[in-house]
């Protein structure tokens, strides 16, 4: 196990020594025309990754897993800055839905939209050949309600796509461009479905019409209407000049909902609500010293001596998960920023290190909270790579977090593999590959097991890992894999990346800490039955878990649903049935993949 803060201190010195050497002008946001001045390109500095001391975090073991291709895309800009949204939905009954941005018609991609596939408990469907929408979009998120309806939200202007039954049937579209009711005015959205009854849709995204602020919206009817629309989070302007595209993530658990937002030129900020999005508290997880900073009008001078300073900061690749106790956990990549003359801002893609924080830790400066860095695989004491795809992020990043019923925290990320090459004879185009890693913590994030590399090969580019935030016996993970480092929209130098097929891979990483072999053997006793007022549900299970208590009518409609943190041994839950229509119901206790049912008569 690696102690979080100790490793952070040891590695920081190495980072500052090399971060100065590789430098890249911040490129323009893809597909976005901003009013601000475009950054000027400077002569590139030595594009050689700097040398660094041996990495104390090493792991050459490979996770035991099978790669399952579930789709593909040629369009390869899954994120402008490393983060992707909630793209894998673990339904808790053995089924899984997954989405990604899909477009095959280079280079304008008129066919771009949501690639979708579904695991029915036995098999994935055939790889889709087209998007699920009838119009051009992308950057999807997938969520679902307890009744099994599934909902995707995607890009510009916000599009809601849904259907009543997961895995099957036609999708209904609510394109924001033609909607007669107001919809969130955001692009590159992130969405999670939550709330006490599991039917609230929480959306954040980049609001083009309002200085690119990131705003929050809420729908309690699956996206048909929005009772909170384009809300600027409290204190936003204090810490953010604008919102970084794709530099955010969102999660919910019951009535707790939280989102994070950050980027190389701004603070990393957490907003959290315990009343399903009505009111919010603000935590500045990592404070940017110049925030709110407009790098088009002022240089990066922190100490006021008129000379620009290089500022350690976070990149925009980040993940947030809320654990079983309502505690927020955050992972984010690191980078540095320098602006010596306006308008000209640079970041340092050669900066390495994945940062971690949770709400039990001090906030304000997390730039030393390293939990993962580049691996010195051959033990030479230096990292040997000819170059790399930048993704506008750091070298170890693109994190994705999840949590299981025992409150173990799970993490995947992508990191560069030394001594690999794409074999391109042009030095400007020779690059090493990135692979996906997995690690976990059994003590709430204070100590982490050494990372394990996810199956694949040293000579594949494996990026944008994204796990379902609810982990059971599986870490349900998708990632994107192809034979060329980097993407076609953000080449390192020149244009070295031709459009080509990128595979979307699903894998189940077997949860190494507990849940895999446990069968909970839920038994229950309900009384009185028939019932008119309060139904007592006594149930016992082998080990604690988050379970769902449901009342389902004869038509299959979920009339009542309650999430309960249940303990190993005996539990009692009271269900108020006074609001339910008279009739026969099935009372279900859903624990992971297990459903235990009893018949109830309500009169």
Interacting residue ranges for Ca ion, rule: CB under 5 A:
301, 303, 305, 307, 309, 376, 378, 380, 418, 431, 461, 482, 484-486, 496-497
| Three-class DSSP category at 17 | helix
Residue 33 CB partners (closer than 8 Å, separation 6+): none
Give 330-388 as a 3 state SS string.
EEEEEEEEECCCCCCCEECCCCCCEEEEECCCCCECCCCCEEECCCCCCCCCCCCCCCC
Nearest distance in Å: CB 49, Ca ion:
11
Q: In the chain, what's the furthest Cα-to-Cα distance?
A: 79
Contact 581, 551 (CB under 8 A): no
Rounded Cα distance, 260 and 248, in Å? 5
Nearest distance in Å: CB 142, Ca ion:
23
Contact 315, 264 (CB under 8 A): yes
Residue number, 24 or 376, with CB nearest to Ca ion? 376
Residue number, 57 or 515, with CB nearest to Ca ion? 57
Residue number, 367 or 563, with CB nearest to Ca ion? 367
Contact 90, 121 (CB under 8 A): no
Residue number, 217 or 310, with CB nearest to Ca ion? 310
Contact 439, 467 (CB under 8 A): no
Sign of CA dihedral 65, 66, 71, 74: positive
Residue number, 308 or 589, with CB nearest to Ca ion? 308
Q: How many angstroms separate the first and last alpha carbons of the chain?
A: 56
Residue nearest to Ca ion as judged by C-beta position: 486
Nearest distance in Å: CB 386, Ca ion:
11
Nearest distance in Å: CB 421, Ca ion:
11
- According to DSSP, residue 536 is labeled E
| Three-class DSSP category at 14 | helix
Nearest distance in Å: CB 369, Ca ion:
24
- According to DSSP, residue 94 is labeled S
Residue number, 315 or 431, with CB nearest to Ca ion? 431
Residue number, 195 or 486, with CB nearest to Ca ion? 486
Residue number, 74 or 575, with CB nearest to Ca ion? 74
Residue number, 352 or 376, with CB nearest to Ca ion? 376
Annotate 200-211 with DSSP letters as a single string. Answer: EEEEEEEETTTT
Nearest distance in Å: CB 326, Ca ion:
38
Nearest distance in Å: CB 50, Ca ion:
13
- According to DSSP, residue 161 is labeled E
Q: How many CB atoms lie within 10 A of CB 383?
A: 27
Rounded Cα distance, 241 and 276, in Å? 27
**543 burial level (CB within 10 Å; 0-12, 13-18, 19+):** middle
Nearest distance in Å: CB 305, Ca ion:
4
Residue number, 183 or 372, with CB nearest to Ca ion? 372
Rounded Cα distance, 488 and 466, in Å? 21
Contact 474, 509 (CB under 8 A): yes
Nearest distance in Å: CB 137, Ca ion:
22
Strand duo 409-416 + 434-441: pairing: antiparallel
Residue number, 93 or 340, with CB nearest to Ca ion? 340
Contact 112, 103 (CB under 8 A): yes
Give 549-599 as a 3 state SS string.
EEEEECCCCEEEEEEEEECCEEEEEEEECCCCCCEEEEEEEEECCEEEEEE
Nearest distance in Å: CB 505, Ca ion:
13
Residue number, 189 or 486, with CB nearest to Ca ion? 486
User: Given the structure tokens 């002008």, which residue do they identify?
Assistant: 25
Residue ranges in 153-291 assigned as alpha helix (H): 236-239
Nearest distance in Å: CB 299, Ca ion:
8
Nearest distance in Å: CB 304, Ca ion:
7
């Amino acid at each position: 196990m690696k102690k979080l803060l100790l490793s952070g201190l040891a590695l920081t010195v190495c980072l500052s020594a090399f971060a100065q050497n590789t430098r890249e002008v911040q490129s323009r946001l893809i597909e976005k025309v901003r009013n601000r001045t475009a950054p000027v390109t400077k002569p590139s500095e030595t594009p050689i990754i700097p040398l660094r001391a041996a990495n104390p975090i090493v792991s050459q073991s490979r996770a035991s897993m099978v790669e399952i291709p579930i789709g593909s895309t040629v369009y390869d800009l899954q994120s402008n800055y490393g983060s992707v949204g909630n793209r894998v939905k673990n339904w808790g009954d053995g089924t899984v839905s997954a989405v990604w941005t899909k477009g095959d018609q280079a280079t304008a991609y008129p066919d771009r939209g949501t690639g979708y596939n579904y695991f029915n408990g036995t098999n994935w469907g055939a790889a889709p050949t087209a998007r699920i929408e009838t119009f051009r979009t992308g950057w999807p998120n997938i969520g679902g309600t307890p009744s099994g309806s599934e909902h995707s939200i995607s890009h510009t202007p916000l599009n809601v796509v849904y259907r009543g039954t997961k895995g099957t049937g036609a999708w209904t579209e609510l394109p924001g461009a033609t909607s007669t009711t107001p919809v969130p005015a955001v692009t590159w959205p992130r969405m999670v479905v939550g709330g006490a009854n599991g039917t609230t849709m929480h959306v954040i995204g980049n609001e083009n019409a309002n200085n690119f602020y990131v705003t929050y919206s809420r729908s309690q009817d699956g996206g048909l209407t929005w009772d909170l629309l384009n809300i600027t989070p409290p204190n936003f302007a204090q810490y953010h000049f604008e919102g970084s595209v794709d530099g955010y993530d969102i999660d919910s658990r019951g009535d707790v909902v939280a989102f994070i937002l950050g980027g190389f030129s701004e603070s990393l900020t957490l907003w959290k609500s315990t009343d399903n999005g009505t009111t919010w508290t603000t935590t500045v997880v990592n404070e940017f010293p110049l925030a709110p900073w407009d790098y088009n009008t002022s240089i990066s001078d922190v100490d006021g001596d008129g000379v620009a300073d290089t500022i350690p900061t976070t990149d925009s690749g980040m993940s947030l998960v809320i654990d079983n106790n309502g505690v927020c956990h955050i992972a984010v990549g690191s980078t540095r920023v320098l602006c010596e003359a306006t308008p000209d801002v640079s970041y340092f893609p050669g900066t390495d290190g994945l940062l971690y924080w949770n709400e039990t830790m001090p906030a304000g400066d997390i730039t030393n909270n390293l939990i993962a860095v580049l691996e010195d695989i051959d033990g030479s004491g230096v990292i040997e790579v000819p170059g790399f795809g930048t993704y506008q992020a750091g070298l170890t990043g693109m994190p994705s977090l999840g949590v299981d019923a025992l409150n173990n925290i799970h993490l995947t990320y992508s990191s560069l593999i030394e001594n690999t090459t794409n074999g391109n004879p042009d030095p400007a185009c020779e690059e090493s590959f990135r692979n996906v890693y997995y690690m976990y913590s059994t003590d709430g994030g204070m100590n982490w097991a050494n990372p394990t590399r996810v199956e694949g090969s040293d000579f594949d580019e494996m990026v944008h890992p994204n796990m379902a935030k609810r982990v059971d016996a599986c870490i349900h993970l998708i990632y994107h894999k192809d034979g060329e480092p980097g993407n076609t929209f953000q080449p390192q130098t020149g244009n070295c990346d031709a459009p080509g097929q990128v595979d979307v891979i699903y894998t189940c990483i077997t949860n190494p800490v507990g849940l895999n072999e446990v069968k909970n053997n839920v038994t229950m006793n309900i009384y009185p039955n028939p019932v008119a007022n309060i139904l007592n549900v006594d149930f016992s299970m082998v080990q604690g878990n988050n379970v769902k208590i449901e009342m389902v009518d004869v038509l299959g409609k979920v009339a009542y649903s309650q999430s309960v943190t249940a303990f190993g041994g005996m539990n009692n839950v009271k269900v108020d049935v006074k609001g339910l229509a008279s009739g026969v119901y099935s009372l279900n206790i859903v624990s992971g993949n297990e459903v235990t049912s009893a018949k109830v008569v309500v009169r």
